[in-house]
Amino acid sequence: MSKPATSGKYSEIIGKIFLALFVISIFSTFIFWWNGLSNKNALDEETERKFAEVLNENFRRGDIVFTENDWDLDFLKNLKNGVFPVFLDLKNATERSVAMLKSSDDRVFLLLKSEQSHEKYVEKLNLKVLETFKAGKGEVVLAETLFKTVKRTLVFPRDIGKAKKIAFSEGGKSEECRKVSETKWQCSDESWNYVGLTTASFNGNQKQAVWAHPVTGKTLEIVFNVPEKSGKLYFNSVFAESAYRSKNRAPVFVEILADEKIMLKYASPFTSKVTEKTAKIPENTKELTIKLSTTDDRQRHFVFNGYLSDEL
């Protein structure tokens, strides 16, 4: 028989230390799991109800919502239809990322756990506070970002409903997509075959984008009227979901034309990284056409966002 595990001077001391830790762990388990401590940071019902009330009364289309407590989402249960998007990444948000998430001059709601967070986020995100609402123990801040961006004359995700025409062309024939809502054009009975608003991960940041799934052998054409004073195109594209991991390696070919003249042309690379392109828009351009095509449409979950700005 070997000696007991705790025999020997040092072993005995260490054994006693483990015993003490074990007894402490029993108490800590009781205290933490039985006394409500494991649930101590949850939002109370009053705060959740008020968050929803403020949003229901003040939210307008195009606004975005950030919530500081990004794991207790019970307030969602009380929201009206149409109040979205709700972003869960306020802690990592930056002035620029918030500005980029917004479509234009739309507003930002911050749902804060307490008033103490107010200064921190307003300062960090460089916001101009329009209004604050007391919400139980928390606070709702309605603000707009002061991040200096150029004036956007056309924003693809926001303005997809204003497209002049969306159609698939094949050998001279054109088949128009049907506008089914302010944010969606359905191109066939296949549910994935549409052009419309979605969100997607752009280098790890969730952003609004246009879903534009190409079809083998056809060219998807998205035509916009170019607003006055539009001088520069910003165009970002990526494969949504995990399409870039698909075994289908066929690229999506992108062509952007200003009044029939090609101003941008590339084949989307197979990475999860966003392809960012810019191009100068020729003066007096009337129409901007985005053409997308592929030789194999399996898992070509292509999305893009971007805008036209007034930069010359």
Q: At a CB cut-off of 8 Å and minimum separation 6, what does 1 contact? A: none
> Residues 92-111 vs other proteins: string with x where CB under 8 A?
x-------------------
Residue 82 makes contact with other proteins by CB under 8 A: yes
Single residue of 22, 116, 247, 284 touching other proteins by CB under 8 A: 22
Amino acid in the structure at residue 60: R
Q: How many residues bind other proteins (CB under 8 A)?
A: 67
Cβ of residue 34: shortest distance to other proteins, in angstroms?
5
Residue 62 makes contact with other proteins by CB under 8 A: no
* DSSP strand pairing (64-67 vs 108-112): parallel
Residue 241 makes contact with other proteins by CB under 8 A: yes
Single residue of 49, 58, 62, 89 touching other proteins by CB under 8 A: 89
Residue 71 makes contact with other proteins by CB under 8 A: yes
Q: Measure the CA–CA gap between 140 and 70, rounded to whole angstroms.
A: 14
User: If phi over 0 gives left and psi between -120 and 50 gives alpha, with beta otherwise, what is residue 68?
Assistant: alpha
Report the chain's terminal Cα–Cα distance, integer Å.
Answer: 89
Q: Which neighbouring-strand residues pair with 110?
A: 66, 141
Where in 137-166 is the site for other proteins (CB under 8 A)? none
Residue 271 makes contact with other proteins by CB under 8 A: no
Burial of 13 (0-12, 13-18, 19+ CB in 10 A): exposed
Place of tokens 């190409």: 214
> Residues 172-211 vs other proteins: string with x where CB under 8 A?
---------x-x-------xx-x--xxxxx--x-x-----
Residue 5 makes contact with other proteins by CB under 8 A: yes
Residue 254 makes contact with other proteins by CB under 8 A: no
Residue 239 and residue 212 in contact, taking contact as beta carbons nearer than 8 Å: no
Residue 247 makes contact with other proteins by CB under 8 A: no
209 or 257: whose CB is closer to other proteins? Answer: 209
Mark the segment that binds other proteins (CB under 8 A) among 23-31, 119-127, 144-152, 214-222: 23-31
Residue 28 makes contact with other proteins by CB under 8 A: yes
Residue numbers at the binding site for other proteins (CB under 8 A): 1-6, 8, 11-12, 14-16, 18-19, 21-23, 25-30, 32-34, 37-43, 70-74, 76-89, 92, 181, 183, 191-192, 194, 197-201, 204, 206, 241-242
